Structure 1
């Protein structure tokens, strides 16, 4: 029989679970908070149901207690009941690697309900110490790595709170070390730099080749003198980087595109899958978050460029005949197979490097932003042009507008200042 103690707006429920080896009674406890939006009668009925289900779980040995379960045991339960159903394969693989190599060895032995901010702070501080790395490199782990571990632990303990295994998340009261070298502002192009980058895609670049030897079809070696060759950016990459910038698409979403996803009549792209690494293999599948599945409109000039590339690809496919091994992917290797995930990054960096080599003044050069910076650029430009956050969030495929607001807080602040200046110029009379 359960005993119920009312505590403010919640109830503390205690159920007997037999006796331990010393003859001491084992009590399982849980807190229940009724829905304040329901009637008193509905709350009473919901409480009775909760008590009955709690008693049944205890009686049948199915009740999980944060007081008894270690973090390592919770990790196994979390893997089975939650992770593969809610996390992308690439995200889960990253989580598991950090958990197995860093987190579990440090705090896996602790009882879930006993983990406190002090335990976590000591763990983070230890990761900073020299000699802690397992890859043989000197020094400790970077603040970025520690922040990632903090995010993983926090995510798991948040789920533990939702499952009522613990009352609160200790991560909320811990601050991982900051990286003084990093800025809170995401790396992206400005409007002027974005225009320069688009111009860079249309330029021709001279490449100097050193003198070298080659072997002809008969196996004979011959000498080739140094020479300079001028080349333009392949249309395939022009399309890729234009879509990344104008569509704010992720690398994996672009790599996963097939021609069936592109609607040339309505100038839209259906984003319904993504490619990522799973156990060092490229896997293409539908995203777990429904918000990532979306249809976005692309400017007509960019779609015209894609149409041109489509024609080029079809001509190329016919030219290589049986050597074509493709599956209708938009971005491909020389055989028609899906483009490798690493390819766009190298090409992107190469374009910036070659463009900067043509610029005499430092202020005219492009910053060395990451490839994902094109997505950040797309969002930042939209926000700076006073597009509402909900629209930007939906276009990016964020599950919540809060995600967009957190990432682009700096840009939103500038937009807010711009709005303030607009009101000032409209309403305040100038002396």
Structure 2
């Protein structure tokens, strides 16, 4: 605090900066009185500013709150949306000055730039920030909720490899550890993070099971995505034999990771680089590593596996999620369903009009 004595008047005054502007107040009888007045001026400004803070201030406060309560992977995604999309557009605006029309204009500006799912996610995060602000009593309204999320049709097309495509690819994988990794990924439907987090304690060779109860993100091991993600996956014997051979190569401790060295799993950059090379060599259509999960679901559907079993293997919380994602992959059509009804009754079993 900067307090000065006015030698001409025999009083005290303070000079400070508030919101980038110099503020000067005179006529205080004592130095302590001038200090208290300066402190009050700063406090009054802070209280006034808190009543209508900028969107950027609340967004940053929300991210700080979110980081302490959510997984790192979730925070990273949300933080990216806030810093790349929302703060650049709404940052300097006063929170209570943002009205529904501003939200609509913003939606219109991004609808043609991003995929429908991403546009919806941006809006969801924007609405969450306003909900946070309401709980903290910064505002009473959520203009994002008033406007509602965009009503865009999702493209349900997903990429996957049928078994023949996977076989073509796997023939070119000349590293045994990675060969085993891709086989496990294709035949388990695990997420990449779940696979990289596996330790040898998770492999039950007696019962051909893989235990999934954690995931890896940026080399940090955390709890899985959801409670339903904690599961045991039954594996075919030929994949379990590969895992057994991989373990026999180094005779590792049970706490060591399956795909990596000691306690450190292979890096995602190494995995992506090697995967890219083998895809090019095999000349199959490239899919993302996450699409191995879709490939597994497609494989099971093609085998006639019921949706509840697929949901359990993938770690979905309910069958509805599985059907929503993969229903278009099921081959049955309404016409095929009706054809199966045709043989329920033989002609002689049907009552004819006019028959006694």
The answer to whether TM tops 0.5 is: yes
- Residue equivalent to 1:393: 311
How far does residue 188 in structure 1 lie from its aligned partner after superposition?
0.6
Q: Which has the higher helix share?
A: 2
CA contact (8 A) 2:189 2:293 kept: yes
- Residue equivalent to 1:99: 82
Q: 1:174 to 1:196 in 2, by over 3 A?
A: closer
In structure 1, the gaps of 5 or more residues are: 1-66, 129-140, 206-231, 318-324, 357-365
Decide which of 99, 102, 127 is 1:157's aligned counterpart: 127
Q: Per the alignment, in what secondary structure is the counterpart of residue 221 of structure 2?
A: strand
How far does residue 388 in structure 1 lie from its aligned partner after superposition?
3.3
What does 1:256-405 correspond to in 2, within 5 Å? 256-277=197-218, 282-287=219-224, 289-314=226-251, 328-332=256-260, 337-356=264-283, 366-405=284-323
Task: Measure the CA separation in 2 of the matches of 1:347 and 1:123.
Answer: 40
In our comparison, the structure showing a higher alpha carbon Rg is: 2
Task: Measure the CA separation in 2 of the matches of 1:235 and 1:186.
Answer: 29
What are the Cα deviations for residues 326-361 of structure 1, in whole angstroms up to 9, with x where unaligned? Answer: 96110015x8742111233233332232223xxxxx
Task: Measure the CA separation in 2 of the matches of 1:312 and 1:350.
Answer: 25
Task: Measure the CA separation in 2 of the matches of 1:406 and 1:112.
Answer: 38
Structure 1 position 172 matched with structure 2 position 148: yes
Q: 1:306 to 1:143 in 2, by over 3 A?
A: same
How far does residue 429 in structure 1 lie from its aligned partner after superposition?
7.5
TM-score relative to the length of structure 1: 0.57
What does 1:56-205 correspond to in 2, within 5 Å? 72=56, 75-76=59-60, 78-79=62-63, 81-82=65-66, 84-85=68-69, 87-108=70-91, 109=93, 111=95, 115-116=99-100, 118-127=101-110, 142-144=113-115, 147-155=117-125, 157=127, 169-170=145-146, 172-175=148-151, 184-190=156-162, 194-198=163-167, 200-201=169-170, 203=171
What does 1:182-261 correspond to in 2, within 5 Å? 184-190=156-162, 194-198=163-167, 200-201=169-170, 203=171, 233-261=174-202
Q: Per the alignment, in what secondary structure is the counterpart of residue 291 of structure 1?
A: helix
Q: Per the alignment, in what secondary structure is the counterpart of residue 95 of structure 1?
A: helix
Output the aligned Cα RMSD: 3.7
CA contact (8 A) 1:98 1:149 kept: no
Which runs of at least 4 in structure 1 moved beyond 4 Å after TM superposition? 67-74, 80-84, 110-115, 158-168, 415-419
In structure 2, the gaps of 5 or more residues are: 1-50, 348-356
Task: Measure the CA separation in 2 of the matches of 1:115 and 1:407.
Answer: 35
How far does residue 378 in structure 1 lie from its aligned partner after superposition?
0.9
Task: Measure the CA separation in 1 of the matches of 2:104 and 2:296.
Answer: 37
